[in-house]
Structure 1
Amino acid sequence: MAATRTDRRAVRAAVRADRSGSGPVLEERAPSRFPGAAAKFALFGEVLLVGLLVVLVGVLVVTLPIALAAGIRHLARYIAAEDSRLGLFWRDVRAGIAGGSVVGLIAAVIAVVLAIDIDLARSGFLPGGGVIEAVGWTGLAVLTVGLLIAAGAWDPRTGWRAAVRSVPATVRSDLRGLAFYVAAVALVVILTWMLPPLLPAALGCAVLAVVAVPERRR
């Protein structure tokens, strides 16, 4: 009986290793495109971890771009079953925090200006307040989606300037993918508005979306 239980545990362990890619395969088959995503619960845990890291690094607001970029690169490595040590995440943070903070500062200033316009439009002091408010909300949406796309395009070798400049080309080449980016931003806003403690999970899901959207076309 004890031997039977031991054999069953060994079989279950072999199945888990086969599915996760951490051990030998049980049968010959083509390699998975995303071996790190085979273990769904482990992927969910990694998404939550990335969300927490993004909140931790991006707590100063101006550091949010590099927090997102480092999180995206970390999760992409994890899904590809590459080296995904947390040390590499912090290496990306150090490599891009200077330029990322400049991008974050500019984005924060624009967001504050748009928020003031929305507040003034709602106050009734400005003629055409409804139009101004709509423009303000649209501007915030464009800013947020653009920031998410730029974070996904950032690479330590090319820097933030190239990442920001690539945003229009990315949008033009994949208009359908733009809808997914908008949905990711909307998810973060809605979940955080409903329950603020869900912010790390929402940000982790947004990071996963940035990793997945370009890959879907392949």
Structure 2
Amino acid sequence: MSIELKQLDTDEILRYMGCPPDQAGADLRNQAQLCGRHICQTARLRWAWRCYDILQEENGVRLSCGLLLPGRDLKAHLEGCVRAVVFCMTLGAAVDVLIRKTQSGDMLQGLALDCAADTAVEQGCDQIELELQAMFPGCSFPFRYSPGYGDLPLTVQGELLSLLDAPRRVGLTASASHILIPRKSVTAILGVSDREIARNKRSCLGCPAQGGCQYRKAGGHCGLL
């Protein structure tokens, strides 16, 4: 499955660069916009997904396929959910190549491209979530949750990719150190609840990424408040 990225949010690129959008000069904003266009032209966003019933266990959450996702944080995050969608997405190898080549000659532009790619990943995941949510009418959804959040280890990356047949379907693999290849890629778990979920699972207080959140570092938030 594929998604087309037509335009990236320049303010988000600037936030990833560590610059509050209202403080960015014209030159920096223009560079962010240009890099956003380059990423949109280069990216070949592909994704795959599968849905599983889930069972809460003492040491984590077990998918109906048998895979245990360990950790208390994910278990708490998925409380009240009866199913979980596992998905992955990648911008493709060409984006990694573009960033590496640019960084070797122009570090600032390379940084802007890297941040534009991060913005593209987030926008792509947001679009994927909308498509997935439309498949479960009447349901509620907490934040998507990725390996590396809380106490869910990166070591599950390979198992999630195997569940999704990601190497064949979208060209996404994991290294021996559990880093996704291509680099601008994501694996995630999206809980599905048949009833309304607690408000704190949709705010900064309940977000598993709050400790390293780029939005909060820049003095903002993701817009879900």
The TM tier, using the shorter chain, reads: under 0.3
Please report the TM-score for the alignment, with normalisation by the length of structure 1. 0.27
Which structure has the greater CA radius of gyration? Answer: 1
Higher relative contact order structure (alpha carbons within 8 Å, sequence separation ≥ 6): 2
Q: Which has the higher strand share?
A: 2
What is the TM-score with the length of structure 2 in the denominator? 0.27
